[in-house]
Structure 1
């Protein structure tokens, strides 16, 4: 039995992006992996034949009847596009497809866990599936999301991005679609390539090398292919670019940064002193005067070193049976770097006899008022007590006194905090396939994979050792001398913390996330030979069984597990583990109803269903119905409707609640407002603010807020309705031209989501945050403030901040239109290929509680804010023009991103008429045009060279400040996942084939 033949419609070109939203040719998952819809490396020619008979080719069904066109829109990225863009990891190209919203990638530093994800349609990375040759790839974490950095780029034949939903075909977690990476399985020969890239500034160097070996054997009954590769990408810091060098406040436009700075910022809980800072002369405390600029050491490009191996083989045992297998192994090391650690507003017990506490500062602390409402000053300690305590170094001395001081001191002497992530992943697959009849095929396979991501951190320090170092009796001795304790000077200038102190505090910490996925599939596909009375095309069917078992665990050392113990580490990392399995039965049918009659060149109806039994949530059912109508040759109408039910994943169920950080800018309790409103004052107190903090609560100058997130064992499944409708054009009168226009609509109800920061604050203080809240309203009392300062930031061990709890109360809606046009023609001595893919997103709405009529529908299309994660423009497109001259191709890629504005809901004026973001220049980002030029030349028969200039015009990203959006995407004053932070850069690739 030979493998299913390649499906071609005369398209042999070097067209770069065939991203076509199209109809399936009825390929099974495995057949899809083997279909050669574009030439492979051995077939590619640099002077392409024009595609006079352009066809629209995709996968998206398991039915293996190539006569049947079906209804699911798909974008296709060819190996040509990866080559012309000199792709390092596939995420570089996937995130630039219009309608795909950039997710975590190489430009995301703070919050990146060493992985790269895809977010189709902007409704969440956990609502699409990643496949390798039709098989799920083992996920990278508890949320079941695959790290696409591990995909072997050099071996890819094409990438199908099914963006119309694929729940019935591939599984209920494919609400927004499927990314199917398809490798070459018939390669014979050797291919070696090397790529070198560098920015115009001489940094950000990237090197990638790959070797591909393949051979046919036993009279072409079998084929084996093996690939090895290496990638090394250098870091680029925010300090390496002028727009990222200084932190800028989105509210004031002035220097921003963190109140954990140097010299120390000090607040004395229980007093009305407010936020103070050690004066430059070191002899007194003055009102807080300057934030710390944390930008320069953060990253715009994460470094990576990656080694990868991939192998695949198939062999025809007989004319009826073929066996096959594949294996993947990847080892990657990447790291994030953020500004130096410190004591981030931790309250430390400090002796008044601390050897670094001079008389001027000590006397100020002792004299701070503890009761603003009482007549006269009620000092913390009398002057006599203070003087006696200054020389009492023995805790048993009756004059010995301590005071709890809230310190914000940056350990600039430590250098940056570094997190190194090492990922090791393997996956193996083996199976067999054959023919039941001449038109009906069978296939069965099993696959197993494991992924382990190990994190090692340095540069942090620990709270317990810091407290030990503060309890000092003289400059050289701690009260507790265990662990070779070294006293720390938290009152001195930069440079006053010694290397010995760092060696004592920074003991390092580590953790690991481990996942596994075992899966088995068996199915039949093809046609039954039956036809309807109005068509001579057979009825296509597919049906089968699938089993999957997921396990995931996150384990950490004791330091990482303890909230607030690792200084500057944000959320703690408690041990988490969970598992579930699922049994599924699925079926599809594609029925040609009419063909070759007036106004019905073809009428096709299709349907599919999937029954699932989850060990966690029980039975679920997903189904689809669709069809296509071709009234005249060259014009087709198509549509698809799906009902999908997605069960919660391991992270959504089992993740332990932890407190971490995010961005925000407005706190109704900050400043003098609570002094003028008894209702607001009561609300702030009910949230845990101490009485003495009223009037001095502040918003973190770094624009950060503590948030508590975690899983929920009470979650049930969410439901989604997905439908698409479109047209396909292949006019005979315009040879070489094809076009597709598709409308998509996705609505997720009972959505597993957490509220936005604006939702939590708005539920208490009103959507415009002008209200006073209520001291008895659970929406207010669930917000928990720093018990020492009343702030919404501070030690994660004592300040839960805003509760972002997962529930089934959310609602997500998005809809829009995809447009794809392709044209190819030969004009004498040269060929012209034009490719266009555009997207218009009408809406991307989120409602945190669809059952509450007062809950806001937040719109994020065309907007950015703390409530909208990555930017989703209303319009975007890619257009590639390729000219072929003999052995040379010249190709220009034009990428357009529509302008966006700050979300109106977060910039409403307060009672005084002042907007949170009054600087007009920060409230909009204009439309952006990027141009990349590539030249590919076949210098010799077996030698090709490609030169590329990326971001030719050296466009700079728009500066909007560092606190106007969510932490992961608004970084270094810009949105680096959307707008290029590196500037113009050059690359060259050399490829040798034999």
Structure 2
């Protein structure tokens, strides 16, 4: 086909305004690479127009196969994590909050606001938010990865608010390539293995090509307890040993006294003294196993007509491992004649609980009544008495909580393309993909069985009448109180199945009109077409998962069933205005428009339509200098989770509560709420019995209720980029691109941050303020933790009231030259992010999360400055390459160093600041640490690659060669999904120095 855009594997995208991260492999024979992969039909990221003269106005960041080879990455998410401008999202370092998938978060605007493509086409998403699982990318066949910033909905449809990530595979591969790679940390754990075999052949005199790639990857877990930083749960405020109030020994709520803990003797309840150290049981690297197959074929059935197809199959297993389950503040009823109840604790119950609600005040039992109740084993006995309390007890005897995710994905595409005329082509394809996940939940105690096991008056049977029930001893002061028989009864196993599908079809006609501007030589190019996409998704939970009965699972997992489809019309045009003139080597304009009509698969739900568009241009005044500009209107339609998820109570990160007077360590921090704050707390469900003894959220987590909203509309973004590309003739081998980006999202589909939900009430507290009464507390403890069935907690509704914005500058510089004894290559890619703001509703504060961390910055760490520099020396048959990664420092939100940091004592009577810890050495460390700031970080990796034989290349890598330790911020300085093991392991290396080796055999 005459208008196909063909370039070699090593062709540079800098000529089209791209910013290349890649470094060439000098030791690799270029002709050999081209022979192995053949010419490639280039997918122009950001356009549907196929024309060899296209020069895009939008900047593209390119990571080549050579850079992927040097990085020695096991999965695609690890590659993207290294690119400035991409904020680490859910991946291998996320344990608590990892749903068995890996995603990418471009510009920090959320992993659901970009589109991941494979050869310019969407692939079936992995879950209900419409996100593609990066674990399914066939790395062995990836030629390059292109990242396009800014609204791209005109080209790719909804979701491309922050841009697109396009994985482009090698075309016309011929030969055999086998790769084996392994990595291990210096401490001997975290072993990863990767095998890939790729074979391909051209046939029928080059009219056809077929390629098949088979791969296998595996990774071993790294436990947080195997690193110094993760051996103890460190309180971000105190620096002392911290953790969860759900611990061993048990904690129980006593009327008027708050939540107390069984003392070491096991006979009385005292203020909390032993929170549970959950860090060492969690992991810094999730165990992972994957098998994948990727195949592609094409055949020219006649002159200018080609049929093509590709298929992807992947099966992977991911395990997440977190600290043991237990009773997380659930309400339980305990007979005073419970056989395991110590006499001292019974007496405390008798003296403090109300046993006659008909009379005002606490009606306690006398000593004689208490003694009689201790022997009353039959509920019909007049002396039989019970107390209802909140139980916090970690079932350590049951082992860790494990979620095993079995993911199976297939996606198939079939198309035909060809020439209509010598200058106009057509391309028609259809594809269908399906993703199936089975989550098996193990090691969880059941709340209902905990309640049954406590409702007992002998050691053999329970009062519930359930013959299988085993009375359990929750009153032992040490681990071991729960026997194997008790554990076997308490623990249950549950499954949740998730299925998503994507059916799509697209037809385009592209080429040129055969006419040009009077001042240009290249003709006007265009593309027109139509597209259809149909999404469906279902979650099918077993009865146990739906009930919310799993202890510490964060709430129920209700069934979900939904879908939507969209019909779209597309048009793009590129017009060279002036070419080959003085001061106008090239002046080109481009524009595009897409109309989309959505239908929602729900009774009573109305669809909607959207129109997106883009305009841009590039001006080359002289050879070697080009100015580019681009403006786009993009949309993101609500996904299936946002539309169809039922209201459900789960967990959110939260470290404060204006109603609380006792911290997570059982230390009283104030006398209790007063005035309007007290009124609001009571209106939320606190009682006179617990109002002065409410605990802060346990382990920095609180209940929160949210759900889908069929009334949601698409969110809209306006984005623009302005850039400069330089290839000065007086510096041979040097290229530079600099691009300013600006993205604003209005009508954003968001929920309030935890602090926003609290502030909406407590900035104007009252018993009648709807923002106060919508918050619902545990009726037993008055706190925001507890049984989801009785404690909805915060209400974080989805709405179109949010606003997001980000802007900054990308800078790329590449330099290559022969320095005599070697070939030198320097590649710099950096991003300065000026801001990334979030406002959940028009009345909430505008929060800027660049260089800031807190529970409200829920996208992880995004430094203000971030860059990578790769320096490569190419000798005869050997490459030596050094990668330098720089992350600018970050600061805790609301940090005020003038108040108390620098290890200066707080002035007498001063109000405590919201600062985190900045005092003595935290537990497990010998030096003082400032949790309020994270310094700038520099990481260095070194790679040596050499040709051992003519067809055998060996690559040796040392990552984090100086064994840089991650920053310490404690356990509750940010959202749980990213603040784990007292640091932010998705951003900073928690594993330490690692060694890798790879062997690649090619024929």
Count residues in correspondence.
960
| CA displacement at 1:469 relative to structure 2 | 1.2
8 Å CA contact retained: 1:21, 1:818: no
The corresponding residue for 2:925 is none
1:562 aligns with 2:551: no
Q: Deviations over 1:68-100 (max 9, x none)?
A: 212111111111111111110011011221011
User: Equivalents in 1 of 2:306, 2:957: separation in Å?
Assistant: 42
Task: Report the CA distance between 1:796 and its aligned residue.
Answer: 1.7
Tell me the equivalent position of 2:39: none
2:835 paired with 1:838: no
Q: 1:858 & 1:259 partners in 2: Cα distance?
A: 30
- Structure-2 change in CA distance of 1:779 and 1:376 (3 Å): closer
**1:168 & 1:719 partners in 2: Cα distance?**
12
Change (3 A) 1:368 1:457: same
User: Per-residue deviation at 1:61?
Assistant: 1.1
1:468 aligns with 2:452: yes
Residue 924 (structure 2) aligns with: none
Q: Cα deviation per residue 1:401-435 (whole Å; 9 max; x = unaligned)?
A: 11112111111111101110010000000011000
Partner residue, 1:961:
970
Could you tell me how far 1:731 is from its partner in structure 2? 1.0
Alignment correspondent of 1:53: none
Matched, 1:404 2:396: no
Q: What is the DSSP-based 3-state SS (H/G/I as helix, E as strand, rest coil) of the residue aligned with 1:243?
A: helix
The residue that corresponds to 2:287 in the other structure is 303
Matched with 1:983 is 992
Q: Report matched runs for 1:527-926 at 5 Å.
A: 527-563=512-548, 565-616=549-600, 617-671=607-661, 675=672, 677-766=674-763, 773-850=765-842, 852=843, 855-869=844-858, 870-904=860-894, 912-920=910-918, 921-926=930-935
- Find the counterpart in structure 1 of residue 314 from structure 2: 330
Match status 1:6 vs 2:6: yes
Residues 483/550 of structure 1: CA separation in 2 closer, same or farther (3 Å cut)? farther
Distance in 1 (CA, whole Å) between partners of 2:322 and 2:695 is 24
Matched-pair contact (CA < 8 Å) for 1:435–1:441: yes
- Per the alignment, in what secondary structure is the counterpart of residue 488 of structure 2? helix
Question: Which of 429, 439, 450 is residue 413 of structure 2 equivalent to?
Answer: 429
Residues 1:947 and 1:515: Cα distance change in structure 2 (over 3 Å) = same
* Map of 1:169 onto structure 2: 155
Residue range with higher mean Cα deviation, 855-864 or 674-683: 674-683
Equivalent in the alignment of 1:208? 194
Residue 508 of structure 2 corresponds to 523
Report the Cα offset of residue 701 of structure 1: 4.5
SS at match of 1:594: strand
Give the match for residue 110 of structure 1.
96
Q: Secondary structure at the match of 1:681?
A: helix
Aligned residues of 1:24 and 1:59 also touching (Cα < 8 A): no
Deviations 1:889-917 (A, max 9, x none): 00111000000000128999899510233
Is the contact between residue 24 and residue 825 of structure 2 (CA under 8 Å) also seen in structure 1? no
1:141 aligns with 2:127: yes
Residues 776 and 40 of structure 1: CA distance in aligned 2, closer, same or farther (over 3 Å): farther
Structure-2 change in CA distance of 1:105 and 1:763 (3 Å): same
**Separation in 2, partners of 1:842, 1:820:** 17
Give the SS at the match of 1:165: coil
Residue 705 of structure 1, CA deviation: 1.2
Q: Is the 8 A contact 1:601 1:631 kept in 2?
A: yes
Aligned to 1:443: 427
Could you say what secondary structure the match of 1:110 adopts? coil
Q: 1:906 to 1:665 in 2, by over 3 A?
A: farther
**d(CA) in 1 for partners of 2:43, 2:404:** 42
CA distance in 2 between counterparts of 1:908 and 1:483 reads 64
In 1, Cα distance between the equivalents of 2:330 and 2:698?
16
Query: Could you say what secondary structure the match of 2:996 adopts?
Result: strand
Shift of 1:110: 0.4
Q: Separation in 2 of the partners of 1:153 and 1:295?
A: 33
Which range moves more in the overlay, 504-513 or 479-488?
479-488
Q: Is the 8 A contact 1:690 1:790 kept in 2?
A: yes
Instruction: Report the secondary structure of 2:689's partner residue.
Output: helix
SS in 2 for 1:441: strand
Question: Residue by residue, what CA displacement relative to the aligned partner does 1:180-235 show, whole Å, maximum 9, x if unpaired?
Answer: 11111211111111001000000000001010011111111100000111111000
CA distance in 2, matches of 1:104, 1:936: 31
Q: Is the 8 A contact 2:154 2:634 kept in 1?
A: yes
- SS at structure 1 position matched to 2:699: coil
Q: Find out whether 1:254 has 2:240 as its counterpart.
A: yes
2:75 to 89, 95, 108: 89
Partner of 1:416: 400
Counterpart for residue 23 of structure 1: 17
C-alpha displacement at 1:828, in angstroms? 2.7
**Contact 2:587–2:619 at 8 Å: present in 1 too?**
yes
How many Å apart are 1:381 and its aligned residue?
Answer: 2.8
**Cα separation, partners in 2 of 1:22 and 1:348, compared to 1, 3 Å:** farther
Conservation of the 8 A alpha-carbon contact between 1:251 and 1:665 = no
Task: Tell me if structure 1 keeps the 8 A contact 2:833–2:864.
Answer: yes
Q: Distance in 1 between matches of 2:384 and 2:15?
A: 76
The correspondence for 1:69, drawn from 48, 52, 55, is 55
**Separation in 1, partners of 2:420, 2:794:** 59
Cα offset, 1:927, TM superposition: 0.3
**In structure 2, C-alpha distance between the alignment counterparts of 1:253 and 1:784, rounded to whole Å:** 31
Aligned 8 A contact 1:367 1:380 in 2: yes
Alpha carbons 1:24, 1:71 under 8 Å: kept? no
**Unpaired runs of 5+ in structure 1?**
13-17, 26-35, 49-55, 767-771
Query: How much has 1:637 moved relative to structure 2?
Result: 0.6
What displacement does 1:19 show?
8.8
Distance between the aligned counterparts of 1:901 and 1:24, measured in 2? Answer: 33
TM-score by length of 2: 0.93
Matched-pair contact (CA < 8 Å) for 1:674–1:694: no
C-alpha distance in 1 between matches for 2:15 and 2:681 = 53
Q: 1: distance between equivalents of 2:527 and 2:124?
A: 25
Structure 2: stretches of 5+ with no match in the other structure: 35-41, 601-606, 662-668, 900-905, 919-929
Q: Following the alignment from structure 1 to structure 2, what is the Cα–Cα distance between the partners of residues 395 and 119?
A: 58
RMSD: 2.5
Q: CA separation of 1:406/1:45 partners in 2, compared to 1, >3 Å: closer, same or farther?
A: farther
Residues 838 and 42 from structure 1, CA distance in 2 versus in 1: closer, same or farther, beyond 3 angstroms?
closer
1:217 and 2:207 correspond: no
Once the two structures are TM-superposed, the CA of residue 599 in structure 1 deviates from its matched residue by 1.1
Shift of 1:646: 2.2
Change (3 A) 1:941 1:349: same
Select 1:321's aligned residue among 305, 330, 343: 305
Flag the 1:753–1:443 CA change in 2: closer, same or farther, 3 A.
same
**Structure 2 counterpart of 1:390, from 357, 363, 374:** 374
Deviation at 1:58, TM superposition (A): 5.9
Partner of 2:902: none
Q: What is the distance in 2 between the residues matched to 1:899 and 1:45?
A: 44
- The Cα of 1:375 is off from its aligned counterpart by 14
Range with greater deviation from structure 2 (340-349 or 474-483): 474-483
Of residues 481, 492, 495, the one that matches 1:496 is 481
Aligned counterpart, 1:282: 266
Q: Which of 920, 936, 939 does residue 930 from structure 1 map onto?
A: 939
Q: 1:40 to 1:183 in 2, by over 3 A?
A: farther
- Aligned mates of 1:907, 1:408 — CA distance in 2: 37
